[in-house]
């Protein structure tokens, strides 16, 4: 089990530290929820986790097959809902992979993206939409 520590710093800001590496990240509550919005919000990090997971899985597939996925990006759009409690209701991912990709390559990379464990962990209350853009 990976251990992380989160410290409340006041004014709706936290610092999380990854136990194994010591890397840290700051969060701020969003402006629409009484925060300053000067850093990722906790719910923003869910979108970042999803996008990072998708790119990592696509990267594993590309690496295993000798394909160059470097420079691929994901833009994540997050939509919140207030009822019955404030929560993420939708995450839209726009995945862009520069270069030339065959139908077989696209199919393999898209399948790996859809196998993301973060997406599987979100459950049914969060809709995830993926749009793939292949080429320059």
Pair 93, 114: CB distance under 8 Å: no
What superfamily does domain 42-134 belong to in CATH? K homology (KH) domain (3.30.300.20)
User: Is residue 136 predicted with pLDDT exceeding 70?
Assistant: no
Task: Classify strands 73-81 and 87-97 as parallel, antiparallel or unpaired.
Answer: antiparallel
Q: What is the pLDDT of residue 59?
A: 98
Mean pLDDT of 36-61: 96
Instruction: At 79, give phi and psi (nearest 5°).
Output: -120, 130
- What's the mean pLDDT in 17-22? 96
Mean pLDDT computed over 4-19: 96
| Token pair for 46 | 């869910």
Read off the pLDDT of residues 91-134 as tens digits, 9 standing for 90 and up.
Answer: 999 999 999 999 999 999 999 999 999 999 998 889 999 999 99
Domain ranges of the chain: 4-33, 42-134
Q: Please compute the mean of the pLDDT values over residues 25-49 and round it to a whole number.
A: 94
Q: Which residue has the higher pLDDT, 27 or 136?
A: 27
Q: What is the pLDDT of residue 135?
A: 86
Nearest C-alpha neighbor of 44 from the set 62, 25, 69: 25
What is the tens place of the pLDDT at every residue in 54-83? 999 999 999 999 999 999 999 999 999 988
Write out the chain in H/E/C secondary structure. Answer: CCCEEEEEEECCEEEEEECCCCCEEEEECCHHHCCCCCCCCHHHHHHHHHHHHHHHHHHHHHHHHCCCCCCCEEEEEEEEECCCCCEEEEEEEEEEECCCCCHHHHHHHHHHHHCCHHHHHHCCCCEEEEEEEECC
């Amino acid at each position: 089990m990976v251990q992380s520590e989160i410290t409340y710093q006041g004014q709706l800001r936290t610092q999380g530290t990854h136990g194994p590496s010591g890397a840290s990240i700051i969060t701020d509550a969003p402006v629409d929820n009484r925060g300053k919005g000067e850093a990722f919000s906790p719910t923003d990090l869910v979108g970042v986790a999803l996008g990072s997971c998708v790119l990592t899985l696509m990267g594993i597939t590309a690496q295993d097959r000798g394909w160059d996925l470097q420079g691929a990006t994901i833009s994540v759009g997050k939509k919140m809902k207030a009822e019955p409690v404030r929560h993420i209701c939708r995450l839209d991912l726009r995945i862009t992979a520069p270069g030339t990709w065959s139908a077989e390559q696209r199919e393999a990379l898209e399948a790996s993206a859809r196998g993301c464990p973060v997406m599987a962990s979100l459950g049914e209350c969060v809709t995830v939409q993926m749009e793939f853009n292949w080429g320059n």
